[in-house]
Amino acid sequence: MQFTFHQTWLARIGSIILMGAMLSGCLYPAERRVENQVPSSFYLEATQKAVDQFHQDTSVLPITTNPLDTPIFEKYEIDFSKLIPKYLPDAPANSFERGGIYKYVIIDAETKPTVRLINLDVVSKVADVQQAVNRYMQRHDGKLPVNGDAGNGYYTIKYSVIAMKEPEIKSTVTSQLLTLIMNEKGEVGIDYAPDIAAVLRNNDKLEVPKNTDPRYVFARESMFVPVKSFPYTMENGEPHLLKLS
């Protein structure tokens, strides 16, 4: 009888352990999917420390080599293979390298190297619209699918003629949705004016130096860089798209 009791007890414990293992196996991928999409300040700070130490030890930055014409906020991508394992045990769980939706980049590379994020989901949405605009222009002898005039040589997009639904580009600063615009060449980007203005309003100590693109001030105050954007200037204390020459 004693043997039967212990046998039953062990069998139950074994079942519990097995069930726990099965549940862990089921939940783990979901947890990974969630963390791959969360812009964590923990990962950002850990990567910043690793970059700082690497830079101090080697006098160079752990970045990939990109073409000279790469947009400035996308140019200095972090090469995690240069940081692992000495400076980091692995790439951040939310990084592109680990199946996440964020690319880690460096801004102010020559003055104060600072780690920031690119949201690759946003990049993908802009690329989809760019392809649709390109197709429209090819079919209509270079004509732009213009919906309205955004000023200074920029236009909003008429999605009905490019057979697309307007994508939702969520602001990382406010609850607003940001608008996609295009220049006279048909190049598509995001209008970050509302986000730049909000950052400046939220911190009255921030100043945009004369002849400085306010996107740089925005990037320093945010976890994200203004990816797929156009140049801006300040007029009467407000950000405006820089007029095309």
- 155, pLDDT greater than 80: yes
Indicate the DSSP class of residue 242.
P
Cα-based distances in Å from 104 to 37, 80, 137: 13, 9, 33
Total-model pTM:
0.82
Tokens of 111: 């003055």
Tokens of 91: 């790439």
Residue 110 has a pLDDT of 94
Distance CA 121, CA 197 (A): 23
Residue 205 has a pLDDT of 83
More confident residue, 131 or 207: 131
Residue 27 has a pLDDT of 37
Average pLDDT of the segment spanning 93-122: 96
Q: Is the dihedral of CA 95, 170, 198, 152 positive or negative?
A: positive
The band of 37, judged by pLDDT with boundaries at 50, 70 and 90, is low
Percent of the chain surpassing pLDDT 70? 84
Average pLDDT of the segment spanning 179-183: 98
Going through 51-135 in order, the beta strands assigned E by DSSP cover 102-107, 114-119
Beta carbons of 105 and 73 less than 8 angstroms apart: yes
Number of H helices, E strands in the chain: 6, 9
User: 154 forms bridges with which residues in the sheet?
Assistant: 151, 183
Q: Give the domain ranges of the chain.
A: 41-120, 121-241
Tokens of 179: 């608008």
Per-residue pLDDT tens over the stretch 17-34: 333 333 333 333 444 455
Q: Which one, of 34, 86, 36, lies nearest residue 58 by Cα? A: 86
The band of 175, judged by pLDDT with boundaries at 50, 70 and 90, is confident
